[in-house]
Structure 1
């Protein structure tokens, strides 16, 4: 079950330029994400925590990543929205019954918990990240 809106991921070409711009108007400092902390290799990022929501800027110079492909084909912009769940394994079963297709059959792990991504073709063109943070 979805518990809250968790954040938005914005694909950017130049991470430092985007950090400067977003930091200038959000008024909170960025928290940089180490490349090894992503569920997929080849990404760099920074987050701005605004209340209970994160604005995440993500860049990649690796042509094999979905972020790189997104920026090259569509330009910079909203890449996905993130929703927090309590039990990702069970929620994947429930959401699959409701027509959501996932990019992976099982949850992926990253430094902060578990994650999987609802494919945009099954969600009216929007990729949704379902995230179960470590408690």
Structure 2
């Protein structure tokens, strides 16, 4: 699979405003708010920090029924997923299947606020959910 590198890390948080302020203070950079349209699934909102081309994202859930909400209930705040850049998410999805992994989505998700994405289940990758996001070079 042709990777463009690690695109970023997503951290699940309960209090988005509190943690956004803290990360802005520590990294001395302003975040960009991410509304629901910036996610593959509804019910999420976040803050994105561009740290020299590396994206650190804080994600909060409006409900307990989202994957982030369930993660927070089971594990508490922390690293939710690692985002890997790929040239073509459709090709990456096929290649995941060829390696014996079952992508979470039959077809990559696409939307107004985000490029094509697909995911692996954490149990398939030592407890880490991977997001494959289309990031053209």
TM-score under structure 2 length normalisation: 0.93
Pairing partner for 2:129 from 121, 127, 130: 127
Matched residues in 2 for 1:73 and 1:119: separation?
15
CA contact (8 A) 1:34 1:45 kept: yes
Contact in 2 for aligned 1:99/1:122 (Cα 8 Å): no
Matches within 5 A, 1:1-135: 1-110=2-111, 111-133=113-135
Taking only aligned residues, the RMSD between alpha carbons, in angstroms, comes to 1.3
1:134 is displaced (CA, Å) by: 6.7
Aligned equivalents of 1:128, 1:78: Cα separation in 2: 11
Query: Does the CA-based 8 Å contact 1:114-1:134 persist in structure 2?
Result: no
Alpha-carbon displacement from aligned partner over 1:1-56 (angstroms, at most 9, x marks no partner)? 11111000000000000101111111110000122221100011000100111110
Gapped runs of 5+ residues in structure 2? none
Gaps of 5+ in 1: none
Aligned residues: 135
Q: Deviation above 3 Å: which 4+ runs of structure 1?
A: none
